[in-house]
Amino acid sequence: MLQNREAEDAISILYVEDEESVRQGYARALGRMTDRLMLAANGEEGLALYKEHRPDIVISDIRMPVMDGIEMLKQIKEINPDAYFIFTTAHNDSRYMLEALEHQVNAYLQKPVSKNILKSKIEKIAAHILQLRHTEEQQIEIERQKIILQKVLDHEKNLLVVSDFTRVYFANRAFLEHFGVSTIEEFNTLCHDLRDLFLPMPGYLHRHLLKGDQSFYELVQQSDETARVVTMMGAGTEPGAYQINISPIELDLQEAYLISLTDITKFNIQKLSTEKKAYHDTLTGLYNRTKFDMIFGTELERVKRYGVQSSLVLLDIDHFKRFNDTYGHLIGDKVLKALAETISKSIRNTDTFARWGGEEFVLLLPETPLDGAIIMVEKLREKVSEIVLEDAEPITASFGITQLFPDDTPQRAFQRADTALYAAKAAGRNCVKTFRDIGEVTESEGVDLCEV
């Protein structure tokens, strides 16, 4: 019998032959190979049986009344292009043979057909069918297990993610919801390095504590268990504290990690509150100048050590003094908060946005070369110009951009950005200016995105 251990694995055969004596003779031999045998006297009967039962293998004569084997083959292939077919014929007609082969017949046997040869052909095809069926069943079971696992982990409150730190391969619902995304692909588009999620706050683990070629996994493992804590922003505006646990796993023959993040913010409220007061602007809730200087210093070190391309942006609200003089300081404060909220919602988790002082803000774009920064900042300029306040006129802002260089100091980088910002103001405001350095940092050319 052409079957595995389970009865449902038996191979079904449709045998189509117009000569009854031949049909009955081969039917006895085929019946010893499978108990799922169907017989038909012509192509029309065979096609009807195929439509009803979808047999695994079709064995058919070519020349038959009512409908010949070739026409039946064509119509069956329209139903199932992968149907397995064996033709038998007493006629040595090359035209029929070529047409049969053209339609991907699996075997073409000359009558009288040796039962042993026919059995051998059927067994080979049957083995292939059963292997495919087993593989499909395995894949279905794997997918079923994945769905079950995903459902179980989606009920887990901890943030769970499988990643090599440059790309996320699996994440539970809690993780995706925390960052305000619906799919892993969407998250990977927004975040290119998982370590950038961890804020560089004193007393917590972050990438700037790494020494030499040390991995983040090694940093966590070498830290005291009570100190394995990171801070992260999410879809909200307040940072949270998370106990981090990392376990190495093998994923498709490459190194990856299962990362679990447990929210312990409520146990760190006092510490986080102290940090916020020290490093956040009280009006806008953004980082203040002191905090930005810390982050900017570590980013310059990355630029120097690893050659990453990052950009610095200074922006200034246009005619802000006029807002205060015309509408009063309360409206001026609304303008500052509206701009801070708008830009905060429009940048990546890895970017750092801070209030520099007065109506001036600063934005750090890690691993973003100048051309990419121009595109991002132009979108931000448009977002700002769409801000509507009932009590005031429309808001616009001017932007100055510079790329960071390995030999930069904070002063030199800010001087270039400030000069670009001044050029944007001079060009009529509500536009973007940038410096492109040629050779020495003192040599540059402007890229003007202002509308004249």
77-91, 214-228, 261-275, 374-388: which range is least confident on average? 261-275
Q: Crossing angle for the helix pair 289-306 and 269-279, nearest 10 degrees? A: 90
Averaged pLDDT, 220-226: 90
- Please report, as a single letter, which amino acid is at residue 306: Y
What tens digit of pLDDT does each residue of 427-441 get?
999 999 987 632 333
Burial annotation 177-207 (CB, 10 A radius, 16+ → b, else e): ebbebeebeebbeebebbbbbbbbbeebbbb
- In 3D space, the residue among 259, 153, 273 whose CA is nearest the CA of residue 205 turns out to be 259
Which distant-in-sequence residues (6+ apart) come within 8 Å of 192 by Cβ? 166, 350, 367
Q: How many CB atoms lie within 10 A of CB 269?
A: 11
Contact 420, 401 (CB under 8 A): yes
**pLDDT at position 269:** 61
β-pairing, 440-448 vs 311-317, is unpaired
Q: Work out the pLDDT band at 203, boundaries 50, 70, 90.
A: confident
Residues with Cβ < 8 Å from 299, sequence gap 6 or more?
310, 364, 366, 404
Q: What percent of the chain has pLDDT over 70?
A: 85
Radius of gyration of the chain (CA): 35
pTM: 0.46
CB atoms within 10 A of CB 438: 10
Average pLDDT over residues 63-79: 90
Protein fold of 7-138: Rossmann fold (3.40.50)
Would you state the structure tokens that stand for residue 165, as one six-digit string? 């730190």
The active-site residue out of 17, 45, 299, 359 is: 359
| Contacts of 93 by beta carbon, 8 Å cutoff, 6+ apart | none
All structural domains of the chain with their residue ranges: 7-138, 156-269, 280-452
Give CATH superfamily name and number for 156-269. PAS domain (3.30.450.20)
Judge whether residue 6 has pLDDT over 50.
no
Mean pLDDT score of the chain, rounded to an integer?
A: 83
Whether the per-residue pLDDT at 446 is higher than 60: the answer is: no
Residue 402 phi/psi, 5° resolution? -145, 150
For residues 34 and 2, the answer to whether their CB atoms sit within 8 Å is yes
CA 137 to chain centroid, in Å, comes to 27
**Residue 52 appears among annotated catalytic residues:** no
Residue type, 342: T
| 280-452 carries CATH number 3.30.70.270 | yes
Q: How confident is the model at residue 444 (pLDDT cuts 50, 70, 90)?
A: very low
pLDDT of residue 306: 80
pLDDT at 7: 43
Higher pLDDT, 286 or 192: 286
> Beta-carbon neighbour count of residue 93 at 10 Å?
12
Half-sphere exposure of 380 (CA within 13 A, CB side): 33
- Give the pLDDT band (50/70/90) at residue 219: very high
Average pLDDT over residues 366-387: 93
How far is Cα 136 from Cα 138, in angstroms, rounded to an integer? 5
pLDDT band at residue 101, thresholds of 50, 70 and 90? low
CA distances from 185 to 165, 169, 451 (A): 14, 9, 36
